[in-house]
Amino acid sequence: MISARPFRKLPALIAAALLMLTSAAIAGDHLLPEDPALSDENDFDGILYGVFKDLYTPDYPARMIAVQSFQREFAVALHVKDGRYSIVLLDPPTMLWGYQVLADDIRQRDQDLAAGRDARADVKEIADLEVGMPSPDWRTVKPARCERPIDAALGAQLVEDWRAMLLQTRFAQPEPVASESVFVDGDILHFSTWGGGMAGQITTPSNDGGDKTNLLIAIGFAMRDYCKTGDAKQRATIVQAAADLAARLKQDG
């Protein structure tokens, strides 16, 4: 198993995944737009989508993918069919970030070989990574699935909370300066809904994250915990946070 996110690779990815991460780190009380698919650089987004793609159908109107430092990623979503709502959790058996690092190492090995450089260190890194993986191909990763019903009123509230928060997605508006960024470690949460193709992200802890984003994050994590345990306290947390978020959104008009 990969025990920790190998951040030594981050400099090589600074023009890729970190474009998204650094943007996400500056959000206020709203989500930020996702990294555009027009870029060829968002490999990790593609891995996340590939592993969790079962949740990308019209019967999942609210979903959150959590990318946490040193922990396995997971996706939690609201499922609705024939008016019945449930929470679905997809929990992969391994840290998906390892596949991004593996792809980066393979790319580096190929570049070294093409340039006639010594690639033995790359080959060893690749072998070490693959030993800790259930399979060297992320496409074969099968996340564990859990599903737990919730009542329609709560389900409808969550759909509306997601929709309202995603409609508020926008860029931050700081004063620009002439200097380069430095990435600060953090967890990234990707929120999306089916209707309208809306998606937004935020990094936590955000520098000035507000009540609404914190409530949305809390709902996502409580959904995961409730799906896993069925604990009534977790369900109560979802209900309370969903109601609080709706109230805050109503204040915004």
Partner 1 sequence: MLKQTVLCAALLCAATARAAPPGCPMRDHLVPEGSVFAMGDDSYLKWGYDKAFAPFLQTDVMVRMIAAPAFSDRYAVGLRETSGGYTVFGLSLGRAGKPSVHCEAAIAKPLGQSLVAAWRVVLLGTRFSDDVAMGLDGIEVHFSMRENFEQPPGQMQTQFLYGQVWTPNRGSPPDRLLGLADDLQNYCVTHDRAGLPGIAKAAVALARSH
Q: Which residues bind partner 1 (CB under 8 A)?
A: 15, 19-20, 22-23, 25-26, 33-40, 42, 45-46, 48-49, 53, 56, 58, 65, 166-182, 184, 190, 192, 194-201, 207
Closest CB 20 distance from partner 1, rounded Å: 8
Closest CB 201 distance from partner 1, rounded Å: 8
Identity of the residue, 34 or 122, whose beta carbon is nearer to partner 1 in the bound complex: 34
Closest CB 176 distance from partner 1, rounded Å: 4
Nearest to 184 by CA among 204, 200, 167: 204
Identity of the residue, 22 or 240, whose beta carbon is nearer to partner 1 in the bound complex: 22
Q: In what order do the strands lie in the sheet with 74-81?
A: 32-33, 199-204, 187-192, 62-67, 74-81, 84-91, 144-150
Going by their DSSP bridges, the two strands 144-150 and 199-204 should be labelled as unpaired
Which amino acid type is present at position 62?
Answer: A
Grouping H, G, I as helix, E, B as strand and the rest as coil, residue 241 is helix
Closest CB 156 distance from partner 1, rounded Å: 16
With contact defined as beta carbons under 8 Å apart, do 107 and 87 qualify?
no
With contact defined as beta carbons under 8 Å apart, do 204 and 69 qualify?
no
Closest CB 159 distance from partner 1, rounded Å: 13
Identity of the residue, 56 or 70, whose beta carbon is nearer to partner 1 in the bound complex: 56
Q: Bridge-partner residues for 149, per DSSP?
A: 86
Identity of the residue, 2 or 32, whose beta carbon is nearer to partner 1 in the bound complex: 32
What lies within 8 Å, CB to CB, of 49 at 6+ separation is 56
Identity of the residue, 217 or 239, whose beta carbon is nearer to partner 1 in the bound complex: 217
Identity of the residue, 102 or 189, whose beta carbon is nearer to partner 1 in the bound complex: 189
Closest CB 213 distance from partner 1, rounded Å: 16
Give the span between the Cα atoms of 55 and 79, in whole angstroms.
8
Chain centroid, CA 223 distance in Å: 15
